Every structure is written in C-alpha cells, then in structure tokens.
C-alpha cells in the first residue's frame, strides 16, 4: 500500500466529515454576512480558553518531536507554531476588549471542556509523535480552510470580522499548515499499521470536536 500521501487519502475517505468541520453553518454565516454577532462573541471567548489549552498541547508535540523525530527541521516548524500562539493570546485579549467580552468571566462550555480534555489525553507520553502531529495538523488545517473560505472572492464577510478571518485564512498560515501536513505524511508513510489506525481515529475525533466547537456558537448548542 502506498502510504506517503496518507493525509490526502484520508481527506478523500472522510471528506464529508472534513467539510462538515470546514464549511460549518457558523462559518458559512460569516461568509454570507448573516452572522449573529452574539454568536461571534461566544466563539471568541470560548476559543480564547481553547487556545490556552492548545499551547501546552503544542508544547507536548515539541517534546515528542525532540525525542522521536527523524528530522530536526520538524522542531522548527512546531516552534514557529508555538511562537504564533503567544501573539494569538495577545490578539484574543485585544479583540475581546474591542467586542466588550470579559475573558475572565467566560465559562467553558461542555464541547470546549470535552475538546480540551481530548487535547490533554494526547499530551500523554504514551501517545506517539506520529499520532500527535496528525492531530496538530488537523486542528490547524480546519481553521485555515474555514477562515480562508470567508476571504474568497464573492464572500460577504462583515468588515469587522475580516481581521479574524485573515488570522487563520492568510497564505502564511496556509504554508505553515502545509509544512505540518508534510511532516504528518512523512511520519505516516513509515509507521506500523496499529499506529496508523490510531492516527486515523484521532484525526476523526479532531474533526468531530471541531464540529461540536462550532456548534457552540451556531446550531445545536
């Protein structure tokens, strides 16, 4: 079996759930300009809490790369991701102030708690680097694809939300996601079948958590 483009194979195999995560009604409402700004504020506050849990997860991937990776450039890609999280947390604070969202008073909703607990489970030293880097790629790729959609020609994204969309939808972030995808593909191409299965299951869990996360702001919450 050709395993080198495993991510692409999985994207084809799971394209319905992938597009469920990247073309969620909340994202489509930003794109068509009908977004409920209260829903946006909910997302902003919840995502700030998520990113605070995401940073230690990325740190755990860095540790795994340092211990297990066969390519020293992996560490630089992961480290650049960690560095942008520093900027991102500052951005959330200033954005929240702009929208009148009190971050200290935001209570994590169940979907957010579940997602953060899932991230924590992936921080365990028992979780293989290959599995963790696949999850890391998927988490970033969903945001990249989602927000890039809101910046495409013909989208009616409200002016006050374009900066948010550019944060994850810009080309630089797209390049960074491609670098993560390359690392994941390289690792998946030489991993035993049991780890491959774990990585695929983990990828599906990420996509499910992303859908539930969007649902907090729009839909079945």
Provide the binding-site residues for ligand HMH, judged by CB under 6 A: 47, 50-51, 54, 139-140, 142-143, 210, 213
Could you count the other beta carbons within 10 Å of the beta carbon of residue 97?
11
Residue entry with tokens 């935001």: 106
Nearest distance, CB of residue 192 and ligand HMH, angstroms: 28
Work out the widest C-alpha separation in the chain, in whole angstroms: 53
Nearest distance, CB of residue 47 and ligand HMH, angstroms: 5
Active site residue 88: no
Nearest distance, CB of residue 185 and ligand HMH, angstroms: 20
**Closest residue to bound ligand HMH by CB:** 143
Question: Of the residues 128, 200, 210, 212, which is catalytic?
Answer: 210
Q: Which is nearer to ligand HMH, 24 or 187 (CB)?
A: 24
168, 37 Cβ separation under 8 angstroms = no
Q: Which is nearer to ligand HMH, 28 or 51 (CB)?
A: 51
Spatial distance between the Cα atoms of 7 and 185, rounded to a whole number of angstroms: 6
Residue 10: half-sphere exposure toward Cβ, Cα within 13 Å: 25
Q: Which is nearer to ligand HMH, 63 or 82 (CB)?
A: 82
Residue entry with tokens 């983990």: 202
Residues forming the active site: 210
């Amino acid at each position: 079996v050709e395993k080198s483009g495993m991510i692409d194979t999985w994207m084809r195999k799971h394209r319905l759930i992938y597009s469920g995560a990247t073309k969620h009604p909340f994202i489509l409402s930003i794109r068509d300009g009908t977004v409920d700004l209260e829903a946006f504020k909910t997302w902003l506050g919840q995502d700030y809490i998520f990113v605070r849990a995401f940073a230690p997860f990325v740190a755990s991937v860095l540790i795994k790369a340092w211990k297990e990776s066969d390519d020293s450039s992996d560490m630089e890609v992961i480290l650049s991701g960690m560095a942008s999280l520093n900027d991102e947390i500052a951005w959330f604070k200033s954005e929240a102030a702009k929208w009148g969202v009190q971050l200290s008073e935001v209570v994590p909703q169940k979907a957010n708690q579940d997602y953060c607990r899932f991230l924590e489970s992936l921080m365990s030293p028992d979780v293989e680097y290959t599995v963790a880097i696949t999850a890391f790629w998927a988490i970033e790729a969903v945001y990249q694809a989602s927000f890039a959609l809101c910046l495409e020609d013909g989208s009616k994204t409200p002016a006050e939300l374009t900066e948010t969309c550019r944060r994850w939808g810009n080309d630089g972030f797209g390049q960074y996601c491609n670098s993560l995808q390359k690392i994941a593909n390289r690792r998946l191409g030489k991993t035993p079948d049991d780890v491959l299965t774990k990585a695929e299951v983990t990828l599906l869990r990420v996509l499910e958590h992303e859908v539930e996360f969007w649902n907090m702001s729009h839909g079945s919450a």
